[in-house]
Amino acid sequence: AASPSKRYSITLLPGDGIGPEVISVAKNVLNLAASIDGIEFKYEEVPIGGAALDLTGLPLPDETLLSAKQSDAVLLGAIGGYKWDKNEKHLKPENGLLKLREGLKVFANLRPATVLPQLVDASTLKREVAEGVDLMVVRELTGGIYFGKPRGFGTNENGEEIGFNTEVYAAYEIDRIARVAFETARKRKGKLCSVDKANVLEASMLWRKRIMEIALEYPDVELSHMYVDNAAMQLIRDPKQFDTIVTNNIFGDILSDEASMITGSIGMLPSASLGESGPGLFEPIHGSAPDIAGQDKANPLATVLSAAMLLKYGLGEEKAAKRIEDAVLDTLNRGFRTGDIYSTGTKLVGCKEMGEEVLKSVDSQV
Ligand code: ATP
Ligand code: MG
């Protein structure tokens, strides 16, 4: 192999359930795909979630956060399980992930929804509609109505109980998510659709104004705007019209789940969470799947594709990222399937064997 020209440090957070199984596969794929470009990784594997609770009593030990912060990128498996479900709130495994996102200040959540030709029948939509869908939802993650103040409970003038929340966005919060979205669109097909409710909400009116302002920095990206109610409809009617979508926290929460159902394969979907500078966090969108944990049944491809996002959006190593994406397609083309994506006429394999087949596909590209 070429002598290493680049070194990166990666914090690996296997976590719980199927997490360790899928992380082990993704690490091997990452290593091989990057080594071809002379890239080397230094890994630090540290506990988070239930695994960390059992070891240290905390879902995010200081050492884990420190390792993540000092790394170039963080790859996470999954978090949670029945064992810790009765823990009080701050000692739940999931709290470790929330704290990690806070600690890394990741405000941009990227979730692709790609209908692969080999898995088009898994889509909830008709074949003609689903075929060729390849979109990315960029969701603002740390602002908006989930965090805005004032919030709480009270009583109105009639003495009736009320609950209230506030949608707030400052210009700088919109500008920074806009830049991530334009950069993302640039790495894709150069089309960005900003989704808001600017006909009703002041926070959305500012959103649209700032997006249009930042757009001046990206003349090469084709920008459009859509109201969220229409976007929810268009995602089901004709999802192929979208390349990159950028939207606020609550709209993104809903639209990214909607988009993931277009693909129908939870075991195939990666995600990235990015901050201003500093390491990004890359993880599959699925959970710890305790029902199949430890049985070598998990589909590792969501985590393998998260490793590809780590290379592309975390380190700017687009060639190595493409190599992983191509290897996943090649492995599917050669007929290999884990249980969650199995159909008659394909070859059923476990998590480890799927990993070995992806490695062969990476190798065959050299
Ligand atoms: P979360 O933990 O995020 O709240 P959840 O517990 O509702 O999510 P998951 O843990 O993602 O959901 O599991 C939902 C279903 O999908 C389970 O039946 C699980 O076995 C299956 N599943 C999830 N991920 C995978 C995977 N990578 N491979 C195969 N099956 C999976
Ligand atoms: Mg779960």
Q: Using one digit for the tens of pLDDT, what is the confidence trace for 214-251?
A: 999 999 999 999 999 999 999 999 999 999 999 999 99
Q: What is the mean pLDDT of residues 309-320?
A: 97
The per-residue pLDDT for 246 is 99
The per-residue pLDDT for 4 is 60
In this model, does residue 313 exceed pLDDT 90?
A: yes
Active site residues: 146, 197, 229, 253, 257
Structure tokens given for 163: 């609950």
Instruction: Supply φ then ψ for residue 118, to 5 degrees.
Output: -75, -20
Average pLDDT, the chain: 96
The per-residue pLDDT for 5 is 81
ipTM: 0.94
In this model, does residue 299 exceed pLDDT 60?
A: yes
Residue nearest to atom 25 of ligand 1 (CA): 267
pLDDT digits (tens, 9 = 90+) for 199-219: 999 999 999 999 999 999 999
Q: Is 26 in the pocket of ligand 1 (CB under 6 A)?
A: no
Q: What distance in Å separates the CA atoms of residue 140 and residue 319, rounded to the nearest whole number?
A: 27
Question: Any idea which ligand is nearest the CA of 342?
Answer: 1
Ligand 1 atom closest to the CA of 301, numbered from 1: 27
Structure tokens given for 109: 């959540």
Rounded to a whole number of angstroms, the distance between the first and last alpha carbons of the chain is 11
Q: What is the mean pLDDT of residues 300-320?
A: 97
Q: Is 341 in the pocket of ligand 1 (CB under 6 A)?
A: no
Q: Is 289 in the pocket of ligand 1 (CB under 6 A)?
A: yes
Ligand 1 atom closest to the CA of 79, numbered from 1: 2
pLDDT digits (tens, 9 = 90+) for 260-278: 999 989 999 999 999 999 9
Q: What is the mean pLDDT of residues 134-141?
A: 98
Chain mean position to CA 339: 22
316 Cβ contact partners less than 8 Å away, ≥ 6 residues apart: none
Question: Any idea which ligand is nearest the CA of 293?
Answer: 1
In this model, does residue 159 exceed pLDDT 60?
A: yes
Q: Is 323 in the pocket of ligand 1 (CB under 6 A)?
A: no
- Containing 101, the helix (H) or strand (E) segment is helix 93-104
Q: What distance in Å separates the CA atoms of residue 4 and residue 8, rounded to the nearest whole number?
A: 11
In this model, does residue 3 exceed pLDDT 80?
A: no
In this model, does residue 304 exceed pLDDT 70?
A: yes
In this model, does residue 2 exceed pLDDT 60?
A: no
In this model, does residue 366 exceed pLDDT 90?
A: no
Percent of the chain with pLDDT over 70: 99
Q: Is 13 in the pocket of ligand 1 (CB under 6 A)?
A: no
Residue nearest to atom 13 of ligand 1 (CA): 289
Torsion from C-alpha of 257, 261, 265, 269, nearest 10 degrees: -30
pLDDT digits (tens, 9 = 90+) for 14-40: 999 999 999 999 999 999 999 999 999
